[in-house]
């Protein structure tokens, strides 16, 4: 079967499935034999037990799914007070029995009609955004945080064909950590560019993004690099994230093994350029999957720095649940290898409620208006899908 | 063994990783101190961290108890903590340095480092030492090349050392060398 046929078949079958960007194209996972809905209680047991499954040397010897933001906070001992918003699952993982390799070109025509709404409401207007922004600036001056990210949500009521959305998104915005999940009562679509964990044998790496630049006709990749290097604010923001990720890796890696592999490079996307660094290390002996997840999640670049005190500040100011946003999607293999992204640039559709979430950072020299607008640039590629 | 006291910072494990080059390391949170490890340690390190020294009274008590008995090293917040315990005043600075790379210069003849030698270092601080600062046996030995802000203190008699900048940051060149010299002093 061709990629197009597979997509048609999976859509008709109405079976739950997940698609994740691979090196060559995309991987489709389906025929789920197990579905584990995570809670603050069962998450430890779930992660610890994965490596105890008998490997059958199959490509499907793995669990694939996502951790939401809240469950990851709880995992590292950060409590979140009651927040309003969609009451979505804290995390779900599936055991697939089929994995199909798809090409990079995802062509799919919807067969049914969906009531898609083009109008969005925003949960934080410019004034309330500026309000939170100024509070955080004071906290930066007093040294309680060095950098903090405020999340904005665009919401509406819509029925969506998640597969159609995802295929169109990959055409407009191909991203190395893109993924989607479709199950009976929800779907997630994301063009995440950010890898949080790639672990193979005893090697682990992470690739934080800090710095975004909107594309224009006058700009090419080398000019973008020049911009980031000369822009003191972007450089400082990036430096902080790099040191924080080095520290997170150092918790689980052998002494002296944590190294910067690619320092401050520019990656190009449809609407924007990103400033990226790749950091890796060799894992200590006997580090468990749970320890790796606790050391690295939630990903620092979408929280701020230092992680714990900044999470505590965020959780008192953000009145609405982040849900999947800034959680992680990916898989853990039975042999302990894993790959996880950071869920950003994402749509969550749950019981026909859509949420598009984005965030941008506050550092000492940030400007509220600029950051508020940067949030819109990031959301645009997703909002455009509703047309 | 070196005991690193963590102030819930996201850079502490860079410090651990760096010190692991030289000795066995134990690291605990400031509110989960293990007395046995503390007693056994040859060196105590106060990590960087958010907030100001007065937020960490447990660490201040540890400093006062072991001053003169063990080698003590403070980094960023840890540096400010030592100064705070020595009656120095820690204040907000006008310009805030988070993720900043700058040059510092050795300004003293009594330093372990050569006078006028310059280092490129990474900085993450919104607070600084108010001067003049005078305390017995302590000397400010490095300063920011531009703003003149105090960047290192040394007390070679009681073996107490502090850096306002981050020797463990990837922004600091020769960070290992700085630590090696202080550990072997």
Q: What is the pLDDT of residues A133-162, one digit of tens each?
A: 999 999 988 888 888 888 999 999 999 999
Write the CB contacts of A46 (distance below 8 Å, at least 6 apart in sequence): A36, A38, A93
Q: Assign residue A64 a region: left if phi > 0, alpha if psi is -120 to 50, beta otherwise?
A: beta
Q: Assign residue A213 a region: left if phi > 0, alpha if psi is -120 to 50, beta otherwise?
A: beta
CA distance readout (Å), B153 to A33, B110, B150: 62, 11, 8
Chain B, 157-176: which have a CB under 8 Å from a chain A CB?
166, 169-171
pLDDT less than 70: residues of chain B: none
* Rg over CA atoms, chain B: 15
Using CA coordinates, name the residue in chain B closest to A362.
Answer: B98
Rounded to an integer, what distance in angstroms lies between the CA atom of residue A289 and that of residue A352? 34
Are the beta carbons of B17 and A145 separated by less than 8 Å? no
Look at domain B2-183 and name its CATH class. Answer: alpha beta
Is the pLDDT reported for residue A112 higher than 90? Answer: no
B126 chain-A contacts, CB cut-off 8 A: 140-143, 146, 364
Q: How far is CA A239 from the centre of its chain?
A: 20
Is B74 an 8 Å CB contact of chain A? no
Rounded to an integer, what distance in angstroms lies between the CA atom of residue A94 and that of residue A332? 11
Is the pLDDT reported for residue A48 higher than 90? Answer: yes
Tell me, what's the pLDDT at A113? Answer: 85
Please count the structural domains in chain A. 1
A120–chain B nearest CA distance, Å: 36
Residue A266: inside a domain, yes or no? no
Q: What are the residue ranges spanned by the domains of chain B?
A: 2-183
A240 chain-B contacts, CB cut-off 8 A: 98-99, 124
Give the residue among A148, A146, A192, A90 at the shortest CA–CA distance from A315: A148
B51 chain-A contacts, CB cut-off 8 A: 142-144, 309
Give the residues across from A260 on adjacent strands.
Answer: A279
Cis, peptide link before residue A306, omega less than 30° from 0: yes
Q: What is the pLDDT of residues A217-268, one digit of tens each?
A: 888 999 999 999 999 888 998 999 999 999 999 999 999 999 999 999 999 8
Boundaries of domain holding A149 = 3-209+277-386
8 Å CB contact between A196 and A206: yes
ipTM attached to this prediction: 0.95
B112–chain A nearest CA distance, Å: 25
B137–chain A nearest CA distance, Å: 29
Domain holding A61: CATH number?
Answer: 3.60.120.10
Rounded to an integer, what distance in angstroms lies between the CA atom of residue A254 and that of residue A218? 45
8 Å CB contact between A257 and A184: no
Neighbours of B116 (CB within 10 A): 8
Tell me, what's the pLDDT at A269? Answer: 81
pLDDT band at A200 (very low <50, low <70, confident <90, very high): very high
Residues across chain B: 185
8 Å CB contact between B49 and B7: yes
Q: Nearest by CB to B11, which of A144, A244, A255?
A: A244
Q: What is the pLDDT of residues A12-31, one digit of tens each?
A: 999 999 999 999 999 999 99
pLDDT band at A284 (very low <50, low <70, confident <90, very high): very high
Q: How far is CA A55 from the centre of its chain?
A: 28
A310 chain-B contacts, CB cut-off 8 A: 50
Mean of all residue pLDDT scores within chain A: 93
Chain B interface test: which of A145, A146, A279 (most B C-beta within 10 Å): A146
Tell me, what's the pLDDT at A374? Answer: 82
Give the residue among B94, B151, B152 at the shortest CA–CA distance from A141: B94
Residue A384 DSSP label: G
Residue A105 DSSP label: -
Q: What is the mean pLDDT of residues A363-372?
A: 86
Is the pLDDT reported for residue A281 higher than 90? Answer: yes
pTM: 0.94
Tell me, what's the pLDDT at A17? Answer: 98
Is B13 an 8 Å CB contact of chain A? yes
A142–chain B nearest CA distance, Å: 7
pLDDT band at A378 (very low <50, low <70, confident <90, very high): confident
Is B55 an 8 Å CB contact of chain A? no
Q: Nearest by CB to A309, which of B8, B99, B166?
A: B8
Query: What sections of chain A are H helices per DSSP?
Result: 3-13, 43-50, 69-75, 126-141, 162-172, 221-230, 232-250, 289-296, 307-317, 368-383
Q: How far is CA B106 from the centre of its chain?
A: 15
A309 chain-B contacts, CB cut-off 8 A: 8, 50-51
* Tokens 């000369």 sit on residue: A230
Is the pLDDT reported for residue A270 higher than 80? Answer: no
């Amino acid at each position: 079967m061709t990629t197009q046929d597979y997509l048609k078949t999976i859509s008709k079958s109405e079976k739950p499935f997940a698609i994740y960007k691979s090196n060559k194209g995309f991987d489709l996972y389906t025929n789920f034999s197990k579905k584990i809905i995570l809670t603050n209680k069962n998450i430890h047991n779930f992660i610890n037990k994965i490596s105890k499954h008998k490997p059958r040397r199959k490509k499907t010897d793995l669990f694939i799914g996502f951790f939401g933001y809240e469950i990851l906070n709880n995992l590292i001992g950060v409590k979140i007070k009651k927040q309003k918003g969609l009451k979505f699952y804290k995390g779900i993982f599936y055991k697939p029995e089929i994995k199909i390799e798809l090409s990079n070109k995802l062509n799919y025509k919807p067969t049914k009609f969906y009531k898609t709404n083009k109008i969005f409401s925003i949960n934080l207007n410019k004034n309330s955004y500026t309000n939170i922004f100024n509070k955080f600036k004071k906290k930066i001056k007093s040294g309680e945080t060095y950098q903090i990210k405020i999340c904005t949500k665009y919401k509406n009521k819509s029925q969506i064909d998640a597969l159609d959305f995802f295929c169109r998104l990959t055409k407009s915005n191909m991203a190395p950590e893109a993924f989607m999940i479709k199950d009976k009562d929800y779907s997630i679509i994301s063009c995440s560019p950010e890898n949080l964990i790639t672990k193979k044998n005893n090697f682990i790496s992470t690739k934080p993004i800090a710095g975004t630049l909107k594309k224009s006709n006058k700009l090419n990749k080398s000019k973008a690099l020049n911009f980031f290097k000369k822009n003191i604010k972007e450089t400082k923001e990036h430096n902080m994230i790099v040191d924080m990720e080095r520290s997170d890796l150092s918790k689980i890696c052998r002494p002296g093994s944590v190294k910067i592999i690619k320092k401050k490079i520019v990656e190009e996307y449809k609407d924007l350029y990103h400033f990226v660094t790749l950091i890796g290390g060799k894992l200590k002996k006997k580090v468990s999957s749970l320890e790796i997840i606790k050391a690295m999640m939630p990903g620092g670049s979408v929280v701020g720095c230092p992680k714990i005190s900044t999470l505590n500040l965020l959780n008192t100011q953000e009145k609405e649940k982040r849900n999947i946003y800034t959680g992680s999607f990916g898989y853990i293999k039975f042999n302990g290898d894993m790959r996880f992204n950071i869920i950003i640039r994402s749509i969550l559709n749950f019981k026909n409620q859509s949420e598009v979430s984005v965030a941008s950072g506050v550092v000492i020299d940030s400007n509220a208006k600029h950051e508020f607008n940067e949030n819109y640039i990031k959301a645009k590629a997703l909002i455009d899908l509703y047309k | 063994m070196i005991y690193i006291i963590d102030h819930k910072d996201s850079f502490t494990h860079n410090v651990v990783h760096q010190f692991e080059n030289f000795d066995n390391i134990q690291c605990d949170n400031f509110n989960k101190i293990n007395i046995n490890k503390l007693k056994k340690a040859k060196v105590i390190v106060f990590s960087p961290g958010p907030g100001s020294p007065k937020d960490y009274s447990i660490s201040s008590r540890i400093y006062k108890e072991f001053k003169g008995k063990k080698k003590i090293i403070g980094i960023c917040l840890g540096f400010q903590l030592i100064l705070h315990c020595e009656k120095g005043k820690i204040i907000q600075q006008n310009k805030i340095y988070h993720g900043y790379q700058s040059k510092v210069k050795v300004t003293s003849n009594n330093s372990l480092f050569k006078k006028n030698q310059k280092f490129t270092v990474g900085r993450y601080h919104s607070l600084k030492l108010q001067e003049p600062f005078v305390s017995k046996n302590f000397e400010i030995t490095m300063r920011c090349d531009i703003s003149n802000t105090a960047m290192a203190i040394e007390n070679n008699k009681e073996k107490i050392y502090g850096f306002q900048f981050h020797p463990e940051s990837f922004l600091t060149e020769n960070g290992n060398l700085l630590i090696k010299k202080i550990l072997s002093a």
